[in-house]
Structure 1
Amino acid sequence: MNIWCISKYASPAKYAKSPARLFHFCQEWQKLGHEVHLFTSDSNHLAHFPETAQVYEKEYIEGVWVHWFKTKKYSKTASIARILSWFDFERRLFGFKHQQLNPPDVVLVSSLSIFSILYGYYLKKKYGGILVFEVRDIWPLTMTEEGGISKYHPLTLLIGAIEKFGYRVADLIVGTMPKLDEHVRTIIKKRHFNFHCAPLGFHPENYVESSVKKNIFVGQFPENKIIVGYAGSMGITNALEPYIEAIYQLQHNNRFHFVLVGGGDLRTQFEGRLKGCENVTFLPRIEQEQVKDLLACCDVLYLSTKNSKVWEYGQSMNKVVEYMLAAKPIIASYTGYPSMINEAECGYFVKPEEDESSSEAIIRVLCEVAEMPKSEQKMMGERGKQWIYQYRTYALLAQQYLEKIKSIQR
């Protein structure tokens, strides 16, 4: 098959420190003998493309034909400039001379930008074939639930209309979250449609231990204590306030030491709250390839999400994959649809019991883990790692994805 993949943020390995998930799928499909073309943008806060005078660039990168378009740049992820960059990408798509390529058998449009489904539909009408609409973030639901934007805002209404259009015209709807189909039903009021869950995954070769590379975090944290790690942003949507309060309440408990790494709007506030507490270490933001080294030096890993309707359809977080690969018990303050951690039995979803605050619930579960024998803690962590290796390699996920597309063709 000839597969065209369209996604503004699907950066290839050459220009991104952490290649996009869709680029990995393109690589795997190419290995399976298909012709794959990836259409993306040079305007991405997670990648660095070279400056060029050309609007349209074409490169063969690690087995994939990548067409990257010069588009409007932005500096803040939550900004009008970023939205304008979406529209600029769509303008470039419609200006691209696609007739120079072999016609596509499959057109896969992956958000964001959600507006790209319009170009995908145009290609479907021109060439026929299968149109796949892939949703990685549920927009505009994420805007209204976590961004605080009114559901009657003109941009919300526009994106909502595009979302509904995409669900209606697609031959296959794909979500990185397992229950996206339930959301789709509420939008298009249709019971039966083709749906597939293609979650986040990993490449095993990226986790081969090096005998040469030194782990710079070894020896940085207190010995003979349970090191509880958090790696990621410290913003409103991360809902870390109960965790910070738990650290404060445990400052005189000699069993635990907490490590938080990353940036975010609330980091300074959290550092102020824990000023003088000797049971916590704040580290600056680190490179993506250093994250697994940090996690290796921890005994327990923590993550949290803001209570939101978005999570009713399941989580789709790189952090969960990284945590499970670290083979450590995971404590997740998460009230949405459970997946992965519960399936692998490698941790806990923290929900406060009656007359118990969220911070008290975190402390209770931490103490429960601390009472476990070291061998049991290790077994719990290893279950997570083994589960990821069994079910989440990109080679397996790409094959399953392709089989679903082929079933529709038949």
Structure 2
Amino acid sequence: MISFLIKVLRYEAIIAKKYGNPDVVTGCSVHPLAWLAAYHIAKKYNIRFIAEVRDFWPQIWIASGIKKPNDPMVLFFGAIQKWVYKHADRIIYSLNHGDRYLCDELGVPKNKIFLIGQPMDCKRFDTNKEKLYLLPPQIYNFISNGFICSFAGYYMAYEGVYVMLEALRILESRDLPVKMVFVGSGQEKEGMLNYIKENKLQNALIYDRIPKEVIPVLISCSDVCMAHLAVQGHKEVYQYGVSKNKINEYLYSGACTLYGSFYHDDEVSESGGGIVFEPYKASDLADKIEQVYYMTEEERRQYGIRGREYIKNNHSVEILADKMLKVLFQ
């Protein structure tokens, strides 16, 4: 973090000399020191300083149980946070309910904050989803029949991979022709393979990561897309929402999104593009999958239509680019 700050201060004059003085500067909280670098540049050139917030440091540490409220690092970054929010001309946040933290808890004026979520290149997605030939043969053959539930992401416990496999075990015991395909990587891959073997699951495929441009093909061929974002014992971690490209892609895919979350005011629910299930409860996920399985084709299609419309209207590159320009320059 410190090395980044030092490099910005060292090279910003060189960049300005080569490309011209900046008109506005945005500091994005990959870490909070990026804000300080941006503030320095804003003052030097007498331009607008925008603080962009991707994660609420240090709140996320406290909510996840990583650090205590009186930890020196929490106090240090908390002080930076308050100072930056006070001195920024405008604040951009990407979490759907981030205003509850910024305004309700920290007292930031509402006219100073602007929601700009994760952008979605809908045109590129629509082009890529037609490239069926890019699917690895093993995946192509696996999804050629049956009711397909897909997962794309990290093989981590908080991503719900074992919850999903346990749900599949329940569904197989009900003799439902449901298949689950997983593409990704992560530390739980070996454990997932062992779970499949120990429970004699017949309809699961664990695959490695596939190129990002192939993801639209897979999830557009699926009946259900599965996501799970919850930390056991720390419900508050995602209380202000999530900012995940994966959720955008799921909702835009045309499939019904099933999302494991402690909260029901998320974009999956609000868009009407999916259904929320209780996190870490495989039986609830199994019931929700069975619910979607027994829907009519038209009922399932409506979830996809609502999800696509929501993403087009709220996350498309074109929509967010216009919002960004207004925040930066108006």
Alignment TM-score > 0.5, same fold? yes
Give the secondary-structure state (helix, strand or coil) at the position aligned to 2:8. helix
AA at the equivalent of 1:91: I
Closer, same or farther: CA 216–369 of 1 in aligned 2, 3 Å: same
Asked if 2 retains the 8 angstrom alpha-carbon contact of 1:300 and 1:329, the reply is yes
Matched, 1:317 2:206: no
Bigger proportion of residues as helix: 2
Q: 1:255 aligns with which of 177, 196, 217?
A: 177
Task: Give the TM-score, by structure 1 length.
Answer: 0.71
Asked if 1 retains the 8 angstrom alpha-carbon contact of 2:151 and 2:183, the reply is yes
Give the secondary-structure state (helix, strand or coil) at the position aligned to 2:254. coil
AA at the equivalent of 1:334: S
2:319 maps to 396
Aligned residues: 318
Matched, 1:128 2:46: yes
1:233 maps to 154
Distance 1:316 1:243 in 2: 22
1:244 maps to 165
Q: CA RMSD in A?
A: 2.4
Q: 2:194 aligns with which of 269, 272, 282?
A: 272
After TM superposition, give the deviation of residue 365 of structure 1 in Å. Answer: 0.9
Q: 1:305 aligns with which of 225, 229, 232?
A: 229
Distance 2:305 2:142 in 1: 22
Closer, same or farther: CA 240–140 of 1 in aligned 2, 3 Å: farther
- Structure number with greater CO (CA < 8 Å, separation at least 6) is 2
Moved more, 123-132 or 209-218: 209-218
Which ranges in structure 1 are unaligned for 5 or more consecutive residues? 1-85
Give the secondary-structure state (helix, strand or coil) at the position aligned to 1:103. coil
Matched, 1:94 2:16: no
AA at the equivalent of 1:216: L
Distance 2:9 2:160 in 1: 40
Closer, same or farther: CA 203–212 of 1 in aligned 2, 3 Å: closer
* 1:138-171 deviation per Cα after TM superposition (whole angstroms, max 9, x unaligned): 2222333347344444333332222222212111
Which ranges in structure 2 are unaligned for 5 or more consecutive residues? none
Give the secondary-structure state (helix, strand or coil) at the position aligned to 2:150. strand
Moved more, 330-339 or 392-401: 330-339
Closer, same or farther: CA 88–223 of 1 in aligned 2, 3 Å: same
Distance 2:65 2:133 in 1: 40
Distance 1:186 1:389 in 2: 29
1:339 maps to 266
Task: Give the TM-score, by structure 2 length.
Answer: 0.87
* 1:259-291 deviation per Cα after TM superposition (whole angstroms, max 9, x unaligned): 111111222222222212112111111121121
Distance 2:59 2:247 in 1: 22
AA at the equivalent of 2:161: L
* 1:74-108 deviation per Cα after TM superposition (whole angstroms, max 9, x unaligned): xxxxxxxxxxxx22111101111525253333211
Closer, same or farther: CA 208–254 of 1 in aligned 2, 3 Å: closer
Moved more, 204-213 or 246-255: 204-213
Amino-acid identity (%): 22
Structure 1 residues 274-289: aligned runs within 5 Å: 274-275=196-197, 276-289=200-213
Distance 1:121 1:110 in 2: 11
Closer, same or farther: CA 168–187 of 1 in aligned 2, 3 Å: farther
Asked if 1 retains the 8 angstrom alpha-carbon contact of 2:27 and 2:50, the reply is yes
Asked if 1 retains the 8 angstrom alpha-carbon contact of 2:258 and 2:277, the reply is yes
